[in-house]
């Protein structure tokens, strides 16, 4: 029986650390799945394929964001569509940030199950990515219980 | 007494410059972990960020850190005394969110004005913080089941 393939989408820094912790938690419970990653930097874990992508928004350059965000979002959407032609994903899971928006939307449109985990740095406010993906992802998880007041559809999952 | 100043992988030159300017102690040594191609302090030894980060903080008595969640949680779990400096030079201000939580829960000392960095470190040296307790992630089986992946 071939293994199920999961698409993991994440950014750099804390988002990658969260994804690493998440995949390790899943692998502790099951060895019946393989990974394809779309992210900023590789995980220190075996994967079938990694597609490198930087975040669609700069942390410091507002003008770059105005010019580049939309084209980068479209590129990411196309990359996910290409991946979906090669792998029969059983699901897509993301720990953010903004680079996850169009890939998760494409997965949703293709009928791939989607789970988003809001970053653990949020306690009293919603991220832009969280605001959007709380409406797109089929399951929306938060790591801090205080966020359930801000996201009515959120499920609390503990901290990665 | 050993003090580590860390800015994580993203860089936060303003914090390293403040450490270079204000952190001079007769009774403590200061080590800086700078961002890639970041500002290099003149008055303290420094290293660039690497995956060996944990070997840096293990011997530190106080850690001055940016407000990146991955770094902050790693250090809190290790029981380190923290001075957290939220990086408000970024376009997004999510580090303030975490800083507010840390202050409310008395888990760390938050420094919002870099000119007061030395005072903040002095306070952190003597202050007692609440221990950090986290509820670990508990939804692995749920997610695997949702995706139709059997557990082992």
pLDDT for the residue A55: 73
Q: What is the mean pLDDT of residues B137-149?
A: 98
Question: Any idea of the CA torsion for A107, A4, A11, A137, to the nearest 10 degrees?
Answer: 40
Question: How far B136 CA lies from chain A's nearest CA (Å)?
Answer: 5
Give chain B's mean pLDDT.
Answer: 93
Give chain A's mean pLDDT.
Answer: 93
| Contact predicate B98/A121, CB 8 Å | yes
Residues of A within 8 A of B10 (CB-CB) are 12-13, 59
| Contact predicate A83/A36, CB 8 Å | yes
Of residues B10, B67, B139, nearest to A141 (C-beta): B139
pLDDT for the residue A142: 98
Model confidence pLDDT, tens digit, residues A10-21: 998 889 999 999
The reply to whether residue B149 touches residue A32, judged by beta carbons under 8 angstroms, is yes
Residues of B within 8 A of A59 (CB-CB) are 10, 90-92
Percentage of chain B exceeding pLDDT 90: 79
Question: How far B37 CA lies from chain A's nearest CA (Å)?
Answer: 15
The reply to whether residue A17 touches residue B152, judged by beta carbons under 8 angstroms, is no
Question: How far A4 CA lies from chain B's nearest CA (Å)?
Answer: 7
Q: What is the mean pLDDT of residues A100-108?
A: 97
pLDDT for the residue B133: 92
B109, β-bridge pairs = B83
| Contact predicate B23/B85, CB 8 Å | no
Give the tokens for residue B54: 């944990």
Model confidence pLDDT, tens digit, residues B124-138: 999 999 999 989 999
Of A1 and A35, the structure prediction assigns the larger pLDDT to A35
Model confidence pLDDT, tens digit, residues B13-54: 999 999 999 999 888 999 999 988 899 999 999 999 876 777
pLDDT for the residue B52: 73
Q: What is the mean pLDDT of residues A39-45?
A: 93
Closest-CA residue of A relative to B92 is A59
In 3-state terms, chain B is what percent helix, strand and coil (to 5)? Answer: 35, 20, 45
Per-residue pLDDT for A125 more than 90?
yes
Buried b / exposed e along A8-46 (16+ C-beta atoms within 10 A): bbbbbbbbbbbbbbbbebbbebbebbebbbbbbbebeee
Query: Environment class of residue B44 by beta-carbon count within 10 Å: exposed (0-12), middle (13-18) or buried (19+)?
Result: middle
Residues of B within 8 A of A31 (CB-CB) are 152
Q: What is the mean pLDDT of residues A129-144?
A: 97
Interface of B with A (CB under 8 A): 8-10, 67-70, 73, 89-92, 94-95, 97-98, 100-101, 134-141, 143-144, 146-152
Model confidence pLDDT, tens digit, residues B52-62: 777 889 999 99
Residue B150 CB coordination number (10 Å):
13
Per-residue pLDDT for B109 more than 90?
yes
Q: Hey, of A14, A69, A95, which one would you mutate to test binding to chain B, going by the most B CBs within 10 A of its CB? A: A14
Of the candidates A122, A145, A120, A153, the residue with the CA atom closest to the CA atom of residue A22: A120
pLDDT for the residue A68: 79
Question: How far B141 CA lies from chain A's nearest CA (Å)?
Answer: 7
pLDDT for the residue B152: 85
The reply to whether residue A58 touches residue B91, judged by beta carbons under 8 angstroms, is yes
Closest-CA residue of A relative to B152 is A30
Residues of A within 8 A of B92 (CB-CB) are 59, 127-128
Using the Cβ of A2 and the Cβ atoms of chain B, whether some distance falls under 8 Å is answered with no
Residue A89 CA, distance from chain mean position? 14
- B104: CB partners within 8 A, 6+ apart: none
Using the Cβ of A123 and the Cβ atoms of chain B, whether some distance falls under 8 Å is answered with yes
Q: What is the mean pLDDT of residues B79-89?
A: 94
SS3 label, residue A4: strand
pLDDT for the residue B27: 87
Q: What is the mean pLDDT of residues A115-141?
A: 96
Model confidence pLDDT, tens digit, residues A46-62: 999 999 987 766 666 66
């Amino acid at each position: 029986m071939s293994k199920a393939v999961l698409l993991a989408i994440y950014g750099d820094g804390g988002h990658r650390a969260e994804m690493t912790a998440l995949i390790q938690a899943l692998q502790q419970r099951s060895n019946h799945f393989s990974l394809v990653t779309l992210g900023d930097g590789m995980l220190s874990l075996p994967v079938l394929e990694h597609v490198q992508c930087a975040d669609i928004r700069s942390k410091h350059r507002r003008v770059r964001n105005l010019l580049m965000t939309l084209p980068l979002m479209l590129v990411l959407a196309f990359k996910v569509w290409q991946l979906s032609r090669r792998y029969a994903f059983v699901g897509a899971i993301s720990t953010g940030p903004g680079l996850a928006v169009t890939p998760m939307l494409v997965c949703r449109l293709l009928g791939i199950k989607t789970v988003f985990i809001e970053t653990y740095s949020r306690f009293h406010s919603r991220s832009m990515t969280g605001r959007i993906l709380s409406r797109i992802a089929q399951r929306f998880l938060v790591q801090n219980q205080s966020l359930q007041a801000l996201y009515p559809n959120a499920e609390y999952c503990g901290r990665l | 007494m050993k003090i580590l100043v860390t800015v994580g992988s993203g860089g936060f030159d303003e914090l390293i410059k403040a450490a270079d300017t204000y952190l001079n102690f007769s009774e403590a040594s200061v080590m800086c972990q700078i961002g890639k191609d970041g500002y290099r302090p003149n008055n303290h030894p420094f290293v660039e960020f690497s995956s060996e980060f944990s070997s840096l903080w293990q011997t530190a008595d106080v850690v001055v850190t940016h407000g990146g969640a991955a770094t902050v949680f790693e250090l809190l779990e290790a029981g380190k005394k923290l001075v957290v400096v939220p990086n408000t030079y970024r376009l997004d201000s999510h580090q303030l969110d975490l800083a507010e939580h840390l202050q409310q829960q008395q888990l760390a000392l938050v420094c919002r004005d870099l000119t007061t960095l030395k005072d903040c470190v002095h306070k952190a040296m003597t202050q007692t913080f609440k221990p950090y307790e986290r509820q670990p992630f508990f939804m692995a089986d749920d997610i695997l089941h949702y995706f139709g992946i059997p557990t082992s």
